[in-house]
């Protein structure tokens, strides 16, 4: 591409050019233009060749223009833009997907002109390498700082780029910047304040000299070896572009320093490895370090290996050979856990104990060097924090890499890695995604809850993760709460009945199954009262309910919010997570106090009266919400009973501050020993000391037909039939069905928040089947029109699937951009279809939606909740393969003004009461008051003899009889005793339950 004359003087340009740009070597290749911004590259979008903008929301993409500028460094035009980014935004030049990729490997780097604003902001610059096209490639990133005024040529050698591990649309290729298949570049602009920019002439410059394109790496940072064995350190030469080296590369090595003693613990090693000119990329050599046998018990010892490299880039860190700890009592798997814990604890320093109480985010520790440096006890993946690619193999490899780092510590205490698998292994692409807890609660099936927990545990453990931050035992008392779908329901008795999930996750209550390759440590959260926070009480950002204040009497606290934790402790729950919210107990004089500071609840209630023997893990950065300075945060939370602190990015500050507080006497050593003992106990129970690395034997079952069959059954059982005029459901396969609505064919809406990412997302982001696909696979005669714009004539029945889009936590609070009303598009779809034909409306949502004003025109109404990835389960009940059996886990209100409304309220007049749920494929019992009286007598007798199954069946018959009479004639006089009956059923009072149903029957 020929250059046009610059419109500035040669002297001025020379002054502007950096020295490196003004004096290139004579044998450098000529610069290769990428973008001149003269109009040769259009503004377009993938898969076309062009420049396109992007951003986190509609306001974030910048506005771009090609602008005539007399001072343009090259040509007549420059690229200019304005931006006002709240989340993230920028622009990309992708080469067309249909074109051959570009080869940049002959050059030293990429450069461009940037007009400085001298604002000190960082601008990220990325290049796209390998893969099929620009959207299926690796991202390599670096940045520069706008700390200058006027035009400046920014030069970035390719060696400055780092592989992005935090985000990748499709996954990695080979994690090597090959430069032979390049798909363009991207610029990420700074967020937070308005700005503008000008840019010109992106080009490749310089010659790719060998020291910039050749690298020496080792195959691991740590090489554990038993005393007497020989460590073998693999050294590999790699080059960008995969071309052989032109000049020799030498690696001189020697063992030096560390805690092992040369001559006694190992034989010193030194020498030189040579990779001659012409050596192919990927060639490896081996360094051997022999160690000496040592029968005396000893902790681990390190032997650093110093590498000096010429002709190539040296490894980022020097590898270490580690002599494994051996012969110490805590390593003896035959000893009781209590003795192993006591022995290990007695050997640890204060700093090592502080490290065990510290949990960091995987993204914060990079390659993991800080794991050993700070003796970290735990890592986690926050929502959406995944390896690249997001596969079971990549998860296991990542976690094994982190575990390897622990081998370089004195006692080689393994990490315990945690993840929010709240409805299946929901961070993992292709995992089996279950209905959210609200749907599991609707199933009223404790055995199903157990099975979903079992599937989740098996898929999580198969990727190397031994710890799950689930289940949520919140008792949701106000559906304006953005976490309400994480609750099994509004009745503590229902929540307690679903805690069989704990055994599905952990196995038997005594912890003997935790070391199995299909079980994980579970977490009861969020202790205590998170489901009772009052609307408008939150002070966290724009949240209205989440992380707010729960105000209760002590009796309400015990009966409603603490009851599920008592059950969890009895079931052997391994960890408990306090809530972000505050608790205000009426009459105790303390006012609203953050739960992470409530020692009376954590130390007193949980560890004291309930005798919880696991450990308490904080929520994400929760201590930062406590009053006072940082030392006060640490001191308050630890003294209140929090044993491990989730401090994702501030782990260095936390562990150091914790040790300082102990040295100052403000936290007792006894308290530290208690916390660390609890943590170590669970690590021993999990078998991590014997098997720290991932056992991937069960990985082939992730997302398997057998696992998806459980999720399909759960989806079917979670469906609650609220109305069914003239037996419209189940559908007949011979009927012509018109399907519409925003959630009929959207897997992301169907799975909700906490799916692949923290907030979830609409669209297809994992493997699964939508409701529409399930109906088609069931053999239904289906026509689909999302917005109901297709003609509606000639159909037997309409199915309109509407509801919410994904959200998580306080982001989903009503009043924070969300409401309980259907969207205008959903309302229009319901109105159009239901006016034209008989219709069934399915509401796919995390909480009830207000449909009372349209209930008259709807023939059948289904609360579908968030059914997960298996839409066939919904189709199963729609077409009668399975019966509708679900019951409301929460009260369905008539209006938002009724909220909060819950079973047991003195005033109770909902649209549908707690426990309501019609059935299909089941004969409704005949009879009236006399039949109900007989059922009550029989139920009371079953209760007396402890015949729970018989008692539940008798109450179920009475419920169906009552529902059949009530029909659509719901009144307060019916609703209140009906809901009370379901609570009585769950507490085992079968006779009283039928008496309440009889009261509802008489009021109907």
* Residue 209: predicted pLDDT: 75
Length in residues, the chain: 1004
Is pLDDT of 739 > 70? yes
pLDDT digits (tens, 9 = 90+) for 535-547: 999 999 999 999 9
Position 182 pLDDT exceeds 90: yes
Per-residue model confidence as pLDDT tens digits over 205-225: 998 878 878 999 999 999 999
Give the pairing type, strands 89-94 and 149-157: unpaired
CA–CA dist 401, 243 (Å, integer): 29
Helix or strand run (H / E) with residue 439: helix 437-443
Backbone angles phi, psi at 896, to 5 degrees: -70, -25
Q: What is the mean pLDDT of the chain?
A: 94
State the average pLDDT over residues 355-375: 96
Model pLDDT for residues 577-621, shown as the tens digit of each residue:
999 999 999 999 999 999 999 999 999 999 999 999 999 999 999
CA 151/CA 18 separation, integer angstroms: 11
Residue 436: phi, psi to the nearest 5?
-65, 165
Distance CA 462, CA 934 (A): 52
Q: How far apart are the two ends of the chain, measured CA to CA in Å? A: 84
Query: pLDDT at residue 1 above 60?
Result: no
Average pLDDT over residues 459-481: 98
Residue 22 has pLDDT above 90, yes or no: no
Residue 988, classified by CB atoms within 10 Å of its CB into exposed (0-12), middle (13-18) or buried (19+), is middle
Spatial contact of 643 and 416, defined as CB atoms under 8 Å apart: no
How far is 296 from 666, CA to CA, in rounded Å?
39
- CA nearest neighbour of 539 among 527, 530, 531, 549: 549
pLDDT greater than 90 at residue 136 = no
Omega prior to 900 cis, within 30 of 0: yes
Cβ count within 10 A of residue 902? 22
Q: Which residues lie across from 302 on neighbouring strands? A: 322
pLDDT at residue 302 in the model: 98
CB-CB contact of 266 with 291 (8 Å): yes
Prediction pTM value:
0.86
Spatial contact of 557 and 531, defined as CB atoms under 8 Å apart: no
Determine the Cα–Cα distance for residues 956 and 958; give it in Å rounded to an integer.
Answer: 5
Q: Mean pLDDT throughout 868-894?
A: 98
pLDDT number for residue 9: 28
Confidence of residue 175 (pLDDT cuts 50, 70, 90): confident
Q: Is the pLDDT of residue 57 over 90?
A: no
Look at residue 937 in the predicted model and tell me its pLDDT. Answer: 97
Per the model's pLDDT, the better-predicted residue between 175 and 283 turns out to be 283
Task: Report whether pLDDT(261) > 70.
Answer: yes
Averaged over 43-70, what is the pLDDT?
92
730/878 Cα distance (integer angstroms) = 5
- What pLDDT is stored for residue 106 in this prediction? 87
Average pLDDT over residues 245-271: 97
The mean pLDDT of 71-84, rounded to a whole number, is: 97
User: What pLDDT, on a 0 to 100 scale, did the predictor assign at position 167?
Assistant: 60
Which are the catalytic amino acids?
619, 809
pLDDT at 117 over 90: yes
Averaged pLDDT, 35-51: 92
Confidence of residue 15 (pLDDT cuts 50, 70, 90): very low
Indicate left, alpha or beta for 834 from its phi (over 0: left) and psi (-120 to 50: alpha): alpha
Tens digits of per-residue pLDDT, 664-675?
Answer: 999 999 999 999
pLDDT at residue 59 in the model: 87
Find out whether 105 and 240 touch, Cβ atoms under 8 Å: yes
> What pLDDT is attached to residue 171?
58
What are the pLDDT digits (tens) for 87-108?
889 999 999 888 899 999 889 9
Beta strands in 778-859 (DSSP E): 781-784, 797-803, 839-844
Q: How far apart are CA 819 and CA 175, in angstroms?
A: 44
**Rounded average pLDDT over 889-907:** 98
Beta bridge partners of 80: 65, 198
Query: For every residue of 638-662, which 3-state class applies, written as one string?
Result: HHHCCCEEECCCCHHHHHHHHHHHH
Report pLDDT digits (tens) over 318-343.
999 999 999 999 999 999 999 999 99
pLDDT band of 896, cuts 50, 70, 90: very high
Contact 896, 850 (CB under 8 A): yes
């Amino acid at each position: 591409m020929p250059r046009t004359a610059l419109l500035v003087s040669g002297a001025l340009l020379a002054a502007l050019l950096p020295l490196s740009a003004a004096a290139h070597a004579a044998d450098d290749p000529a610069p290769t233009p990428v973008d001149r911004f003269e109009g040769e590259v259009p503004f377009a979008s993938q898969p076309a060749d062009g420049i396109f903008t992007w951003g986190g929301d509609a306001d974030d993409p910048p506005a771009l223009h090609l602008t005539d500028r007399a001072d343009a460094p090259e040509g007549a035009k420059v690229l200019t833009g304005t931006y006002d980014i709240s989340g993230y935004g920028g622009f990309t030049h992708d080469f067309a997907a249909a074109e051959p990729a570009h080869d940049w490997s002959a050059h030293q780097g990429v450069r461009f002109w940037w007009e400085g604003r001298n604002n000190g902001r960082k601008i990220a610059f990325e290049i796209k390498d390998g893969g099929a096209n620009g959207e299926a490639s690796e991202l390599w990133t670096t940045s520069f700082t706008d700390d200058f005024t006027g035009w400046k040529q920014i030069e970035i050698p390719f060696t400055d780029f780092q592989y992005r591990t935090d985000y990748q649309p499709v996954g990695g290729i080979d994690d090597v910047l090959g430069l032979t298949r390049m798909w363009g570049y991207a610029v990420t602009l700074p967020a937070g304040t308005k700005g503008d920019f000008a840019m010109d002439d992106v080009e490749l410059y310089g010659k790719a000299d060998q020291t910039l394109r050749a690298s020496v790496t080792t195959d691991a940072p740590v090489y554990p070896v038993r005393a007497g064995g020989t460590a073998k350190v693999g050294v590999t030469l790699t080059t960008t572009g995969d071309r052989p080296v032109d000049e020799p590369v030498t690696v001189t090595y020697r063992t030096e320093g560390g805690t092992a003693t040369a001559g006694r613990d190992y034989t010193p090693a030194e020498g030189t490895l040579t990779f001659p000119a012409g050596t192919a990329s990927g060639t490896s050599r081996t360094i051997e370090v022999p160690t000496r046998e040592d029968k005396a018990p000893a902790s681990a010892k390190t032997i650093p290996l110093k590498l000096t490299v010429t002709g190539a880039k040296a490894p980022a860190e020097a590898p270490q050979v580690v002599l494994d700890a051996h012969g110490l009592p805590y390593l003896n798997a035959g000893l009781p856990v209590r003795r192993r814990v006591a022995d290990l604890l007695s050997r640890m320093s204060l700093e090592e104990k502080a490290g065990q109480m510290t949990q960091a985010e995987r993204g914060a520790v990079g390659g993991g060097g800080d794991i050993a440096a700070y003796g970290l006890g735990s890592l986690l993946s926050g929502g959406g924090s995944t390896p690249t690619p997001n596969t079971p193999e990549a998860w296991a490899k990542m976690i094994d890499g982190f575990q390897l780092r622990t081998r370089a510590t004195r006692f080689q205490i393994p990490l315990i890695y945690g993840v929010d698998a709240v409805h299946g292994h929901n961070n993992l692409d292709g995992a089996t995604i279950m209905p959210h807890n609200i749907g599991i609660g609707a199933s009223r099936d404790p055995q199903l809850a157990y099975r979903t927990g079992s599937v989740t545990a098996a898929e999580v453990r198969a990727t190397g993760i031994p710890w799950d931050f689930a289940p949520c035992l919140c008792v949701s008392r106000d559906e304006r709460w953005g976490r309400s779908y994480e609750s099994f329901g509004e009745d503590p008795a229902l929540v307690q009945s679903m805690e069989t999930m704990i055994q599905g996750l952990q196995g038997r209550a005594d912890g003997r199954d935790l070391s199995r390759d299909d079980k994980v440590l579970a977490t009861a959260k969020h202790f205590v009262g998170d489901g009772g926070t009052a609307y408008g009480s939150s002070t966290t950002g724009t949240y209205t309910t989440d992380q707010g204040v729960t105000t209760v009497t002590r009796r309400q606290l015990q009966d409603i919010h603490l009851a599920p934790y008592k059950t969890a402790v009895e079931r052997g729950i391994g960890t408990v997570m306090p809530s972000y919210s505050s608790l205000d107990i009426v009459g105790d004089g303390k006012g609203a106090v953050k739960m992470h500071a409530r020692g009376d609840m954590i130390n007193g209630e949980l560890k004291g009266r309930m005798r919880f023997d696991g450990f308490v893990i904080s929520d994400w950065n929760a201590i930062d919400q406590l009053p006072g300075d940082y030392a006060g945060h640490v001191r308050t939370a630890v003294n209140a009973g929090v044993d491990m602190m989730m401090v994702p990015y501030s782990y260095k500050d936390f562990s150091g501050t914790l040790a300082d507080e102990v040295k100052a006497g403000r936290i007792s050593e006894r308290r530290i020993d208690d916390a660390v003992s609890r943590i170590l106990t669970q690590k021993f129970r999990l078998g991590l000391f014997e098997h720290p690395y991932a056992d991937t034997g069960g990985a082939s079952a992730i997302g398997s037909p057998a696992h998806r069959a459980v999720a399909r059954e759960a989806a079917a059982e979670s469906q609650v039939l609220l109305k069914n005029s003239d037996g419209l459901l189940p559908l007949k396969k011979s009927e012509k069905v018109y399907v519409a609505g925003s959630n009929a064919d959207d897997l992301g809406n169907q799975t909700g928040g906490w799916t692949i990412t923290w907030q979830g997302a609409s669209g297809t982001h994992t493997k699964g089947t939508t409701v529409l696909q399930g109906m088609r696979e069931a053999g239904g005669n289906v026509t689909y029109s999302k917005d109901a714009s297709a003609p509606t004539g000639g159909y037997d029945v309409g199915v309109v699937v509407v509801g919410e889009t994904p959200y998580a936590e306080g982001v989903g609070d009503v009043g924070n951009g969300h409401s309980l009303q259907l969207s205008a598009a959903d309302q229009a779809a319901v109105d159009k279809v239901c006016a034209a034909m008989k219709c069934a409306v399915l509401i796919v949502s995390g909480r009830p939606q207000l449909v009372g004003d349209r209930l008259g025109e709807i023939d059948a109404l289904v609360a579908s909740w968030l059914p997960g990835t298996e839409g066939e389960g919904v189709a199963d009940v729609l077409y009668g393969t399975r019966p509708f059996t679900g019951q409301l886990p929460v009260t369905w209100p008539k209006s938002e003004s009724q909220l909060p409304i819950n079973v047991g309220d003195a005033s109770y007049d909902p649209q549908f009461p707690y426990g309501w749920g019609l059935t299909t494929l089941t004969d409704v019992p005949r009879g009236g008051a006399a039949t109900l009286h007989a059922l009550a007598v029989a139920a009371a007798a079953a209760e007396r003899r402890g015949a729970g199954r018989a008692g539940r069946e008798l109450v179920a018959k009475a419920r169906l009889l009552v529902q059949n009479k009530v029909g659509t004639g719901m009144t307060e006089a019916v609703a209140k005793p009906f809901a009370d009956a379901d609570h009585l059923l769950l507490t085992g009072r079968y006779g009283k339950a039928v008496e309440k149903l009889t009261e509802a029957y008489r009021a109907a």
